[in-house]
Amino acid sequence: MSQSFRVNTNMGALNAYNALSRANDSTFNAQLRLATQKRINSVADDTSGFAVGKALDQKVKLMEAAQKNVGSAQDMLATSEVQLTSVKDLVTQIKTKISDASNPAADQQRIADDIKAMGSEIESIFKNTKYNDTQLLVSTSTGNTGTFTFQTGAASSDTLGIDFASGLVGTLTQGGASGIAAEVKTALASISGLPSSGSTIANIQAIETALNSFESKVDSALSKIGNLSQRLDIKDEFLTAAISNSKASVSRLFDADMAMEQLNATKGQMSSQVATSMFSQLNMAPQSVLSLMR
């Protein structure tokens, strides 16, 4: 018997209702994606894609944090480089003064005073070179040994030790076992040890040996800064590329294709209108049975 003559259960109307429900769901999903600009709005939308996307998103955030660490390390190295370059320039000036002292007509005492003043400035640089209140060239109460470790990747084990000053760091206190690296300490002691009066060519020239050893340590620290800066630049370039690629992957997983979703929404609305019309007609179909009762 034709289904149109079944009054108790109108199968045609039920099928139309199911089609209308599916059309409305499809329209809703497309409109939701248009509203949020996201293809995945819940885990149910794409379980595996959601898991992969969230893992990638977490990695992106870790790499962004690591890139900030790289920037901080670069800033710290730049601060130290400027100060150590100033120390290098002061050493050059002291050596010039030592050369001037060989002139019999020169005032050795004034030269000695100039050298001591520049020595005091070198000491001040070592004491006051800081980055975010952390002393970089001398030891502190927190046990600074001249090595700073930065996480430079997504994994906690991906670190870089910044140890440019390990040969310099110590205390500036003269004497004792915990002095600054021997060459630095000896150079400062030699400079401050120049007589306050009656300085001679001999005792001015005597500081040159200690000064050379000290300068060698400064040169070594500057060389390490250069090498570390190159490594940090490479890490920064890698992180920039890795973050961009990971974000692109996250976008492919999560971001909606707006043009396609607009087409889907339009198609869904049209389907809903047609399904509504057919549902209405099929719902009225059993009324034809009344004609048999006339």
Unique residue bearing structure tokens 């004792």: 176
pLDDT at residue number 257:
83
Region of poorest pLDDT, from 59-63, 94-98, 197-201, 289-293: 289-293
As beta bridge partners, residue 287 has none
The Cα 6–Cα 143 span in angstroms is: 91
Q: Which pTM value belongs to this model?
A: 0.76
The Cα 145–Cα 147 span in angstroms is: 6
Can you identify the CATH homologous superfamily of domain 48-254? Answer: f41 fragment of flagellin, N-terminal domain (1.20.1330.10)
Q: Which helix H or strand E contains 182, and what residues bound it? A: helix 182-192
7: confidence class by pLDDT, cuts 50, 70, 90 = low
The Cα 188–Cα 129 span in angstroms is: 17
- Taking alpha carbons only, the member of 39, 63, 83 closest to residue 261 is 39
**DSSP at 171:** B
Domain coordinates in residue numbering, the chain: 48-254
Tens digits of per-residue pLDDT, 18-39? 888 888 888 888 888 898 888 8
